[in-house]
Amino acid sequence: MALALTDTVTSKFIPNRRPGEVEAVLTFRELNAIPTDRNLATAEFRNGGMLPCLEASFQVEDKEAVLRAPIPSGPAEERVNLHRRLIRQMTLRVLEEITGRPAGPWGILTGPRPTKLVQRRLDQGWEPEAVLRELIQEYKLAPAKACLLLEVVQRQRPLLLSSSDARRWVSIYLGIPFCPTRCLYCSFPGYAIPRTGTRVESFLAALIGEIKAVGEAIQQQDLRVQTVYIGGGTPTALTSDQLHRLLTTLREHLPFIPASGKSGEFTVEAGRPDTLDLERLEVLKAAGVNRLSINPQTMQDRTLDLIGRKHSAADTLKSFYRAREVGFTDINMDVILGLPGETRIDVAATLDSLAQLKPENLSVHILAVKRASRLKEERQQWSLPAPEEVERMLQISREVTAAMGMLPYYLYRQKNILGNLENVGYSQPGRECLYNIQVMEERQTIIGLGGGAGSKWVNPQDWTLVNTYNPKDPQNYVDRIAEVIEKKINRIRGLRVGEA
């Protein structure tokens, strides 16, 4: 098993302390282990007195180590980052030596958006070769991961907004926090329709009110909407009548949403194939939706039943062909690698089945053991594949998508992801999902509406941002809708065209 810094808990980090004082205390837990309080290692870092170096004392299980390393020179404004990077490099080195295990493929990069580092370097005028060297030498990435990062970012660059355009164009996210059932691995704030059916109407009324108010404010600020993404939960868990009312409100109050499906990007997550009947598809098509996400996760019926999804592989095929017949020409499909009980043979069979459908996008996720999921609560009851097996699954996905003519266009990572790997979105050339790029790279304001929806308020001058969130619980959202709308309108009024 490879070492990873993903589960590092930084309990103290105070740069520029006096000589001899503690700068950082780190605690490490075993990667992918059954939840436990046992620490793999602890480390304490001290400023090295008069010398520009860090001194670290490590306690790794029953072994101890002491390490000194010079602090690299650099501008004062970069000092904190240099210290952090050095601390991580020292930690990785000691853990490798003491445990005899190799470093993970992502080295010392621990955040969910590693692409943002590459974006920043290219913004600063770095040559791609210099970026690769830094990723490999300073951040300790495996060369294959460094090349993947650069490839994804270079594909994204032409699709990112300029600073001036980012002041004018926003995207809209609508969160529908209802699902037919809750999946084993899911921690998303979704509520099962059978138990909460009476709450859907009150939620929908509140959401329609939020759409109207936000739509008016957006138009008053002379802003434009680049993409709309309706996610959840499972938006198509709503009835066809409820979907019609929701989408009609969007069309009336955000009139710049494309009506013909020929321009703009309007996505609906039809995540559960069993919710995508002909009537719902026709409602979506008539409303101008031009991109669907149909998410089987696996094409193995035994796994689907195991993880709590009440549909079959045959249902996925029916929904896909039905969507094509209605006229949808841009379809994404999601799969999850590392599901309980699955092997690389199962993954290969799933991907081969989807390849025959020829979707425009394929999103390949690695199972992450999420804190609030039933999988985490019942972790000892489930058999998950070893990290080496998950890596082989990921390699199969790379081979299949390449054979389909697809290219990687967005990437992100998650805490507690199996094998310390990554999620990758693939697309046919020219069919990249703009919303996925914008939400990952955080180069555009995204206004979230509905239950649990997050908003990203981006300052295009320096690409800093503020995140705000709607209440997760549907009833809490309904009860607080006036407050939610007021705060959001005030934020939108601050998005003055031409202002930083």
| DSSP string for residues in 238-254 | S-HHHHHHHHHHHHHHS
More confident of the two residues 269 and 97: 269
Do 207 and 246 touch, CB atoms closer than 8 A?
Answer: yes
pLDDT for the residue numbered 81: 76
pLDDT for the residue numbered 260: 41
The tally of CA atoms less than 13 A away on the side-chain side of residue 254 is 32
pLDDT at residue 410 above 90?
A: yes
Range 161-493 classified under CATH 3.20.20.100: no
pLDDT at residue 135 above 70?
A: yes
Lowest-pLDDT range of 4-8, 106-110, 423-427, 443-447: 4-8
Lowest-pLDDT range of 147-151, 173-177, 480-484, 492-496: 492-496
DSSP 3-state of 296: strand
Q: How confident is the model at residue 499 (pLDDT cuts 50, 70, 90)?
A: very low
More confident of the two residues 346 and 84: 346
Provide the angle, in degrees to the nearest 10, between the axes of the packed helices 143-156 and 115-123: 60
pLDDT at residue 415 above 80?
A: yes
pLDDT for 17-57, tens place per residue? Answer: 454 454 555 555 444 434 444 455 566 666 555 445 666 66
pLDDT for the residue numbered 139: 95
pLDDT for 297-315, tens place per residue? Answer: 999 999 999 998 889 999 9
More confident of the two residues 331 and 369: 331
pLDDT at residue 77 above 70?
A: no
User: How many Å apart are CA 47 and CA 51, to the nearest integer?
Assistant: 8
pLDDT for 148-192, tens place per residue? Answer: 999 999 999 999 999 999 999 999 999 999 988 888 888 865 577
More confident of the two residues 186 and 243: 243
Q: Extract long-range pairs of 46-50: CB within 8 Å, 24+ residues apart.
A: 46/20, 46/21, 46/22, 47/17, 47/18, 47/19, 47/20, 47/21, 47/23, 48/19, 49/19, 49/20, 50/19
Lowest-pLDDT range of 22-31, 37-46, 75-84, 91-100: 22-31
Do 491 and 451 touch, CB atoms closer than 8 A?
Answer: no
Q: How confident is the model at residue 498 (pLDDT cuts 50, 70, 90)?
A: very low
Cα dihedral 218/219/224/227 (nearest 10) = 60
pLDDT at residue 343 above 90?
A: yes
Start-to-end CA span in the chain (Å): 47
CA distances, 287 to each of 261, 268, 281 (Å):
9, 11, 10
Listed in sequence order, the residues at least 6 apart from 195 whose beta carbon sits closer than 8 Å to its beta carbon are: none
pLDDT at residue 263 above 70?
A: no
User: How many Å apart are CA 375 and CA 355, to the nearest integer?
Assistant: 29
pLDDT for the residue numbered 255: 62
CA distances, 41 to each of 46, 215, 403 (Å):
17, 52, 43
Q: Looking at the chain, how many residues does it have?
A: 500
DSSP 3-state of 54: strand
Q: What would the DSSP string read from start to end of 371-387?
A: TTSHHHHTGGG-----H
Q: How confident is the model at residue 248 (pLDDT cuts 50, 70, 90)?
A: very high
Pairing of strands 178-179, 191-192: parallel
pLDDT at residue 262 above 90?
A: no
Query: Which whole number is the average pLDDT over 326-331?
Result: 98
Neighbours of 415 (CB within 10 A): 13
Query: Which whole number is the average pLDDT over 58-63?
Result: 66
Whole-number mean pLDDT of the chain? 86
Q: What would the DSSP string read from start to end of 175-215?
A: EE-EESS--TT--S--EEHHHHHHHHHHHHHHHHHHHHHHH
Strands (E), 206-337: 224-232, 265-269, 291-297, 331-337
Strands (E), 242-350: 265-269, 291-297, 331-337
pLDDT for 363-377, tens place per residue? Answer: 999 999 888 888 888
Name residue 382's amino acid: W
pLDDT for the residue numbered 357: 98
Query: Which whole number is the average pLDDT over 126-131?
Result: 98
More confident of the two residues 294 and 76: 294
Handedness of CA 392, 397, 400, 406 (dihedral sign): negative
User: How many Å apart are CA 74 and CA 318, to the nearest integer?
Assistant: 59
Q: Residue 18 has what DSSP assignment?
A: P
Give kind and range of the element (H or E) at residue 281: helix 278-286
More confident of the two residues 74 and 25: 74
Phi–psi pair at 225, nearest 5 degrees: -100, 120
Greatest distance between any 2 Cα atoms in the chain: 74
Query: Which whole number is the average pLDDT over 232-243?
Result: 94
Listed in sequence order, the residues at least 6 apart from 204 whose beta carbon sits closer than 8 Å to its beta carbon are: 238, 242, 245, 246
Name residue 2's amino acid: A
pLDDT at residue 469 above 60?
A: yes
User: How many Å apart are CA 344 and CA 367, to the nearest integer?
Assistant: 14
Q: Which two tokens stand for residue 60?
A: 């790794």
